[in-house]
Structure 1
Amino acid sequence: MPRTRKPRAGSMQFWPRVRARHSHARIRTWPKSSEQKLLGFAGYKAGMTHLLINDNAPNSMTKGADIFCPVTVVECPPIKTASIRFYKNTQNGSTLVSELFADSLEKEMERKIVAHKKKGREASDFDFVRLLCHTQPKLTGIGKKIPEIFEVAIGGSREQQVAYAKEKLGKEISIGEVFAEGQSVDIHSVTKGKGFQGPVRRFGVQLRQHKSEKSRRNPATLGAWRAQGHIMWRTAHAGKMGYHLRTEYNKWILKIGLKSDEINVKGGFVNYGLVRGNYILIKGSVGGAEKRFIRLTIPIRQNKKIPQEAPQISYISTESKQGR
């Protein structure tokens, strides 16, 4: 009989499989844009439901028909800007040159950072500008007051970035000012933590035969380098699984809602409660547990196959998700 061959179990795309440092995602690359606006936003994952939408994909077999569509509800209360940060490109990367704070900060910010007595000054020699923003979880029902603080890039030229940052300093920015219905976004989040798991669930190795020695749910071989207790680092072993920083590209925004009554399910979303403010509906699933901090950015590689217009929604399920 021919020898059975199969690909290795466990993707090497993400390595090492370690837990994220923080529960909020870190964005290292920002897309370039000529529009004078923020290039990202943030929200809190509430849960999932489903819709009936009119398929508007031009080459779809169900074009013009109502189709079932699962969606994730992300509550997006307005974010506030705390400071303008001026950066200079150097040989060792970008360096913070100066920071200009708003006249007054929210009292919840004192739980997170120490407020500066001096307002700061505007730098004369810099290459780009970022806005330091923070969320307002007090406007949601997740029972939290301490905000998340994060930087957001601004589109346009250097002069346009400074003008926009000065205009929005100390003010609120809503989700409708950054994204529109039908637009694609990249989602950065930290996935659910699964704890300590075995190699079968962690890497998908095949179960051994029932008469195998010692164990069935372990890899059959530990690799070629076995002298003196050495084991190759590619070998599938048990360990911590989940709570990883992941990015999903080109997720479709189906709706940006202002009335929470349209989306709240009976009994509230499991482990979250009721949505109280602005929200967005994203097609498909989003990484992370309920109440997890989610960051959204404009797509770095736009998928042209996704329609740029939002489909018509004929039904939004508000049935209870309890006991599912």
Structure 2
Amino acid sequence: MGHRKLHAPRHGSLGVRPRKRAEELTPRVKRWPEKSWFDILVERLGNEAASQGVVARPVLLGFPVYKAGMTHAIIVEDRPNTPVTGKEVFTPVTILDAPPIVVLGVRTYIIDEEGYLKTKGEAWRSPYDAIAKAFEELYAGIPLIGISVKDVVRKYLHGLRKVNHGLVKPEPSSEYGFKFVAESSESELRDALSGEIADVRVIASTIPVLSGIGKKKPEIIELKIGGGSIDERLKYAEGILGGYVRASDVFMEGQFVDVIGVTKGKGFQGVVKRFGVKELPRWHKHRKGSRKIGARSPGFGTMSEPPQAGQMGFHRRTEYNKRILKMGLNGLEITIEGGFLHYGLVYGPYIMLKGTVFGPAKRMLILRHPIRPNLRWLPLSGPKIAYLSLESKQGI
């Protein structure tokens, strides 16, 4: 078996062990970038970025979306120094449903004695007005959505109570049948935003009632605010507290983002499908079985390295530097005929990503400003889309 590594490298990365199921569908963002995409453009491109209206400002470093489906497009390649620069090229695209999020709370952090972040304080606001305003400004003119403002708020509060009983309580006498009881006073807000603060984050909630999924239970996530000084971040956080934020307020067309989420589950699989191990013909050396790895030696408490059968898929993963080709407010302009398979229609704001994204339809993903961007090429706008296929994908 000399020089075997040169001809048969190991199957499966050891960097993603253990390959176990994710704890929950809502992914946790383990790290946030030091600079937002806007800060990088201003720092690297200067006046060129300013001429395009790009300014360094406080901004949320992440945004939750729902995967709707895929189609394909013909774009004019704008990458420099390639054989196809300026020519029309084919590319698969992923459509993400991006309904606005509502900022329920603001949380500030300090550095403790051991150098770790410690919660200093937090303040909460009622989401009634934000949800109603978001619906009226983004969805009221769409006849196909078939739902009123009152129904949107009522379904959202009903789902929010299922997620966290401490935020919403039933109140049959109220307009919506529920009451948001976690609202903080003005003094609590001042206490949370004053003093020595090391980090500022918001507690945001999705509004899945406005998506094509049709579910009521929202996801509650914590998003970091980046860009500017701490005082500017605090002022920005106070400004969006109790309001709604669109994807276009967080990202821009042409930029790169990281995608964080949970992959499609495959269940318990063997080594051939799970790791791509080659299945050898049955002969004397392994006459007792095929599609097996043979001896693997005792582990003695260590994590096993040889390929073994086990869980495949439903893992938390991160894909780096996926490019945003287009963003818009009317999802019906990019919805394919008959709707996306296993999803339906995209009614409101959307994001079109170049290439594929892991996970099945309806899976919630978090888009994050790039943590390891390619600094050799920093586009200021998206490419020209010459053609977008809106043909039905049923039966394909």
Q: Which runs of 5+ in 1 are unaligned?
A: none
Identity fraction in percent: 41
TM-score between both structures, scaled by the size of structure 1? 0.93
The RMSD of aligned alpha carbons is: 2.0
SS of aligned partner of 2:16: coil
Alpha-carbon distance, 1:64 to partner: 1.2
Structure 2 counterpart of 1:143: 214
Q: Is the 8 A contact 1:57 1:307 kept in 2?
A: no
SS of aligned partner of 1:202: helix
SS of aligned partner of 1:13: helix
**How far apart in 2 are the matches of 1:207 and 1:295?**
38
Structure 1 counterpart of 2:204: 133
Alpha-carbon distance, 1:163 to partner: 0.3
Q: Is the 8 A contact 1:222 1:232 kept in 2?
A: no
Letter matched to residue 125 of structure 2: A
**How far apart in 1 are the matches of 2:103 and 2:73?**
34
Q: Which runs of 5+ in 2 are unaligned?
A: 40-56, 129-155, 168-180
Structure 2 counterpart of 1:200: 272
CA distance 1:302–1:200, change in 2 (3 Å)? same
Structure 1 counterpart of 2:23: 21
Are 1:216 and 2:290 an aligned pair? yes
**How far apart in 2 are the matches of 1:246 and 1:290?**
16
Q: Is the 8 A contact 2:102 2:127 kept in 1?
A: no
More helix by share: 2
**How far apart in 2 are the matches of 1:232 and 1:287?**
27
TM-score between both structures, scaled by the size of structure 2? 0.77
**How far apart in 2 are the matches of 1:53 and 1:307?**
18
Letter matched to residue 122 of structure 2: E
Are 1:119 and 2:168 an aligned pair? no
Deviations 1:11-39 (A, max 9, x none): 11201111111111111111123531111
- 2:246 corresponds, among 137, 160, 174, to 174
Alpha-carbon distance, 1:255 to partner: 0.3
**How far apart in 1 are the matches of 2:255 and 2:85?**
19
CA distance 1:8–1:177, change in 2 (3 Å)? same
Deviations 1:86-115 (A, max 9, x none): 112221621212110114566242222112
Are 1:273 and 2:344 an aligned pair? yes
**How far apart in 1 are the matches of 2:120 and 2:272?**
49
Are 1:186 and 2:258 an aligned pair? yes
SS of aligned partner of 1:111: helix
Alpha-carbon distance, 1:141 to partner: 1.9
1:247-262 to structure 2, matched below 5 A, reads 247-262=318-333
- 2:100 corresponds, among 55, 78, 86, to 78
- How many residues are matched? 321
Q: Is the 8 A contact 1:10 1:205 kept in 2?
A: no
More strand by share: 1
Letter matched to residue 103 of structure 2: T
**How far apart in 2 are the matches of 1:187 and 1:252?**
10
SS of aligned partner of 2:392: coil
Structure 2 counterpart of 1:59: 81
